[in-house]
Amino acid sequence: MSRFFSSRHASLVPYTPGEQPKVLNVTKLNTNECPFPPSEKALRFAAENTRPLNLYPELQFVDIRGRLAGLYGISPDNFVLGNGSDELLNFAFMAFCDDQKQAAFPNISYGFYPVYAELNHVPYLEIPLREDFSIAPEDYFNLGRTIFIANPNAPTGMALTRAQVDEIVKRNPDSVVVIDEAYVDFGGETCIPLIQKYDNLLVIQTFSKSRSMAGARLGFAAGSEALIADLNTIRYSTNPYNVNSMTLALGLGVLLDKETTRKNCRTIMENRAWTVAELESLGFTVLPSSANFIFARSGRIDGGELYAKLKARNILIRHFDKPEISAWNRITIGTREQMDILLRNIREILEEKP
pTM: 0.96
Q: Are 21 and 316 in contact (CB under 8 A)?
A: yes
Q: Which stretches does DSSP call E strand in the chain?
A: 27-28, 79-82, 103-106, 124-127, 146-150, 177-180, 201-206, 219-223, 284-286, 293-298, 315-316, 318-319, 328-332
Residues of the chain with pLDDT under 70: 23
Q: Are 220 and 204 in contact (CB under 8 A)?
A: yes
Which of 185, 128, 130, 189 lies closest to 160, judged by CA?
189
Buried b (16+ CB within 10 A) or exposed e, 26-46: bbbbbbbbbbbebbeebbebb
What pLDDT is stored for residue 301 in this prediction?
Answer: 96
**pLDDT tens per residue across span 209-264:** 999 999 999 999 999 999 999 999 999 999 999 999 999 999 999 999 999 999 99
What pLDDT is stored for residue 23 in this prediction?
Answer: 65
| H/E stretch holding 43 | helix 40-49
What pLDDT is stored for residue 195 in this prediction?
Answer: 97
